[in-house]
Every structure is written in C-alpha cells, then in structure tokens.
Amino acid sequence: MDISSFDDLIAVARAQPEPQRLLFVFTRAELPDDASPAQRDAFAQGHGGALVPSVCVDKALDEVGSFAEFVEESRQFSLDWVIVFAASLSGRDGKVPSSADAEGPLNEMVAAIKAGAIQGFIPFNTSGEPVQLG
C-alpha cells in the first residue's frame, strides 16, 4: 500500500473489500515545560515540540471530499493543528462501521499518540502530504 497523499488514502480505503470508516486525530505542537533554551529557540522558529492530540473525528468515506474541504472543515473545530493522524476502521459483511463503533478505536488512537506509539497511523501535514516523524 503506497500512500503518497491524502487522496491516495481515500482511494486505498475505497478499494478495500469491506467498507471503511476513517479515523482522524488532529494534533498541535506544544513546547514541554522542561524544554531547554535550544529547544525553545527551535520551537520559536517553527521546529520541534511535542504533538498533542486536540480533536478526533471519524468519517464515512462519502463524508470526505477533497483535502482542501477537509482542512476547511477541520479549521472550524481545531485551530492551529499541524499534523493529522489517519487510520481506518473496516466494516463487516458490507456494513460501514458507525460512529459508535469508531469511539473506542479513536480513544485508543489518542492514547497511543500521547504515548508516542504512532506506528500504524499515517501522519499528514496541513498540505495533505504524509510525513515521516522521528
């Protein structure tokens, strides 16, 4: 599975044998209280910091349009996000998972991101490009 853009994510999700619900966790960058002077300087220049979950949402595939529309909608509830983590929840027997079905997995995503366990999620920047986080 080669995902090089947000649009690729949507295409891959639509190609799955079972219907998918997409899960998103929006994060903002924050500077830890115990940051060093060098870390503070880097953060002031737009680098570093810790990714902190601020809002999570689930969407059926027919609720997701272009990335520009996704960003515009996201700005209504999550100002200043820098990375959005994406995952999908597979349906069963041709049935799309409901928002209620997504609640537990979304909570698990938030907890995992807080713990730094981000493998299994695709992080996208505000341009809709997947990014490597180290």
Q: Cβ distance 58 to 87 under 8 Å?
A: no
pLDDT tens profile 5-49: 999 999 999 999 999 999 999 999 888 888 888 888 888 887 888
Q: Which amino acid is at 25?
A: V
* Beta sheet of 122-124, edge-to-edge order: 50-60, 20-30, 83-90, 122-124
Q: Which amino acid is at 50?
A: A
Is the pTM for the entire model greater than 0.85?
yes
The per-residue DSSP string of 85-119 comes to: EEEEEE-BTTBPPPHHHHHHHHHHHHHHHHTT--T
CA separation for the pair 39, 24 (Å, rounded): 28
pLDDT tens profile 102-126: 999 999 999 999 998 999 999 999 9
Q: Cβ distance 52 to 93 under 8 Å?
A: no
Nearest alpha carbon to residue 53 among 131, 118, 120, 132: 118
